[in-house]
Amino acid sequence: GGFSPIEWQPLDQLRILNLGYNKLHTLNQDLFEHITDLRVLILSGNPLTLIDHSTQIAIGNLINLEQLDLSNCQLSQLPSHFFHEFK
């Protein structure tokens, strides 16, 4: 299973997305291309051990993102330039 970017297309007004506890290890870089107005992204409780390049691009494309929840993930560090993409 997985999430296809085309599935989000009818949800272009979506502001809050909770993907917590979905066993996500990474995010496809174009996953959020149709929901760019997203304000809150919850990824808590996923087995993310690192923010890989694809995941970083996916999150970085959310230009209106105000809140990112990575609590209870298995992250030990974040890329040094990870937050430069955000407001």
In contact, 39 and 15? CB cutoff 8 Å = yes
Mean pLDDT of the chain: 87
- Full domain range(s) for residue 30: 1-87
Helix H or strand E encompassing 17: strand 16-18
Alpha-carbon distances, residue 11 vs 8, 30, 43, 45, 87 (angstroms): 5, 15, 18, 24, 23
pLDDT at 2: 66
80 pLDDT band, cuts 50/70/90, is: confident
* Number of compact structural domains in the chain: 1
16 pLDDT band, cuts 50/70/90, is: very high
pLDDT at 70: 94
Q: How far apart are CA 47 and CA 87, in angstroms?
A: 26
pLDDT at 15: 96
What CATH number has the domain bearing residue 30? 3.80.10.10
Residue 39 CB neighbour total at 10 angstroms: 13
